[in-house]
Structure 1
Amino acid sequence: MNKEIKFYKYQGAGNDFVLIDNRNLAFNAADNDLIKQLCDRRFGIGGDGLMLLQDTKNFDFEMLYYNADGREGTMCGNGGRCLVAFARDLDIIQTNTAFLAVDGPHEAEIHDNQVNLGMIPVTEYQMDGEAYVLNTGSPHYVQFVDNLNQINMFKEGYAIRNNATYAEKGINVNFIEKEGEGYFVRTFERGVEDETYACGTGAVASAMSVALKEGRDGDFNIPIRVLGGQLYVSFHKAGNSFSKVFLTGPAIQVFKGSITL
């Protein structure tokens, strides 16, 4: 028997997602082929990923995130911000929230269409040549360049994501360039297997890499421009440890509809 599912489309700095209110558990989260189809830009709704908002104990809601390839993903920062806006629009929350994601609890606040999302602390990083490798809820490779507009992101990102070091589990590949008072970042995302207009955990990893490269401790608030807009990353750095990590940027409903499954 066919059933109709309501869906919502949100975007955060160009990172777009299919969102479903699954508090009634009517959507089958185990159907990876269906999720992949819904994220397909030609044969489905289209999105960089799909998220389910579900009930959970001790938190306002739970975030379940799936990559565009249909498989459950690691933390998505821009997705988290969009789900906070979705929860506000559903009247689940007002301004402040605490929710549960795959990498643990998150706090956030929303004002109009701007969401300030708390991210996990980071206590270690590695170097791969001159590139920084960090896990900010998802694994990221960050390389500083001075020709970002000329880089073939699919070719270069694909090569790193699929090299002998990262091929098995995959990694998100970021290139970062100084730009005025802030930085410009472009990201090749695993799961999407292409460049996206924004990546929240990638923006966080890139900002942390700036602080590591500069070798400075203290409080940081770093503007990160992405293809889809402007993000801001703030944190406190002490040695190799980052705490009080926040990702700030827009989260906007694009449209809503229903689809028969």
Structure 2
Amino acid sequence: MEYKFWKYQGTGNDFIFLDGRNDVSAIKDNTPVIARLCDRKFGIGADGLIILEEGSEHDFRMVYYNSDGSESTMCGNGGRCAIAFAKFIGLAKDSTVFDAIDGKHAGEILEDGWVELGMINVSKISNLKTNVYEMNTGSPHYVQLLKKGEALDIVDFGRKIRYNDQYKAEGINVNAAKMLENGISVETYERGVEDETLSCGTGVTACAIAYNEFMGNKGKNSVDVMTKGGQLKVSFMEKDGQYFDIVLSGPAVRVFEGVIGV
């Protein structure tokens, strides 16, 4: 069987997209096939695979798989790319509401081509150490804010945290954030990919919130975030330690399309 696919990337976080209105039963929930398609030497190559299906109550449903073939929790950059792809194939307009594994999301394509994605509210933030935080922004994240001049190997550090006794059963994404003059820079080790990715939307969101907590800022805020794949922005409202109206903004680019046999 041959399948049409599209490749998108959001700040270097790249995804294979399938139109789920077609028969994709040979791929959906097929862990070995998805892993092969995401393989950068033997397949198309991607950090994940996303299927867009017709929505029952909203415009569409996003089904996301990690590059190892496992169905995953929410992906922020994948969600932004899904909005762009949904418009391209006629499932949505510039403004949309869709369903993902963590619930309902609203999004919008802006005039400059950036895509805004509404994220879930964040109400439970664990401050493990002075500069270490844990939270769920649609996916679970461990955030370490680096001190001035401090550096670490995100792959080595990420694997140590992800596979320690506390996290190895479910896994956790691991982030290191450096404070800049204007905002932060972020590196992320992603579970399911089991390596560093150039960008992680839910990780960037977690780092922005951790940075805000560390700095003691209250009320409305936004944080500019630099990743190895490019620039993102996270805006939010905060009240009594509760974060809501969280929006992740950044580019979403169609790279190429093709046909592959399965």
How many Å apart are 1:147 and its aligned residue? Answer: 6.4
> Is the 1:182–1:223 Cα contact (8 Å) retained in structure 2?
yes
- Measured after TM superposition, the shift of residue 25 of structure 1 is 3.5
Match of 1:97?
A: 96
Per-residue deviation, residues 119-148 of structure 1 (Å, max 9, x unmatched): 000111112234100000000000011368
- How far the C-alpha of 1:4 sits from its partner, in A, is 1.0
After superposition, give the CA deviation of every residue in 1:175-204 in whole Å (9 maximum; x if it has no partner): 001112110000000000000000000010
Asked whether 1:156 is paired with 2:152, we answer: no
Q: Partner of 2:120 in structure 1? A: 120
Counterpart check, 1:27 vs 2:25:
yes
Q: After the TM superposition, which residues 23-102 of structure 1 pair with which residues of structure 2 at under 5 Å, given as runs?
A: 23-28=21-26, 29-102=28-101
1:136 aligned onto 2:134: no
Aligned to 1:212: 213
Alpha carbons 2:51, 2:64 under 8 Å: kept: yes
Task: Note the C-alpha offset of 1:23.
Answer: 1.2
Q: Secondary structure at the match of 1:123?
A: coil
CA distance in 2, matches of 1:144, 1:30: 36
Indicate the SS of the match to 1:43.
coil
Q: Deviation digits for residues 59-85 of structure 1, max 9, x if unmatched?
A: 110000000010000000000000100
Give yes or no for contact 1:17–1:49 (8 Å, CA) kept in 2: yes
Amino acid in structure 2 at the alignment position of 1:123: S
Question: Hey, which bits of structure 1, 4+ residues long, moved more than 6 A?
Answer: none
Deviation digits for residues 73-100 of structure 1 (CA, Å, limit 9, x no counterpart) = 0000000000100011112222100000
3-state DSSP of counterpart to 1:121: coil
Matched, 1:5 2:6: no
CA contact (8 A) 1:85 1:113 kept: no
Q: Which residue does the alignment assign to 2:176?
A: 175
- Alignment-mate amino acid for residue 7 of structure 1: F
In 2, the alpha carbon distance for the partners of 1:8 and 1:35 equals 14
Secondary structure of the structure 1 residue equivalent to 2:257: strand
**Structure 2 equivalent of residue 192 of structure 1:** 193
User: Counterpart of 1:107 in 2: which secondary structure?
Assistant: strand
**Matched residue pairs, number?**
259
2:154–2:175 CA contact under 8 A, matched in 1: no
Deviation at 1:173, TM superposition (A): 0.4
Structure-2 separation of matches of 1:221 and 1:17: 27
TM-aligned CA distance change 1:53 to 1:46, over 3 Å = same
On the 8 A contact 1:148/1:175 being kept in 2, the answer is no
Q: 2:54, 2:91 within 8 Å by CA — same for their partners in 1?
A: no
8 Å CA contact retained: 1:186, 1:226: yes
Query: How far apart are the structure 2 equivalents of 1:155 and 1:13?
Result: 23
8 Å Cα contact 1:220/1:235 also seen in 2: yes
Task: Name the stretch that deviates more: 146-155 or 182-191.
Answer: 146-155
TM superposition shift of 1:150: 4.2
Superimposed CA distance per residue, residues 204-248 of structure 1 (whole angstroms, 9 cap, x where no aligned partner): 000000111122211011001000000000000112100100000
**RMSD value, Cα:** 1.3
Note closer, same or farther for the CA distance 1:18–1:222 as it changes in structure 2 (3 Å cut): same
For the Cα contact (< 8 Å) 1:25–1:54, is it kept in 2? no
Counterpart of 2:246 in structure 1 is: 245
Unaligned runs of 5+ in 1: none
- What is the TM-score of this pair, normalised by structure 1? 0.96
Taking structure 2 as the reference length, the TM-score comes to 0.96
The equivalent residue for 1:17 is 15
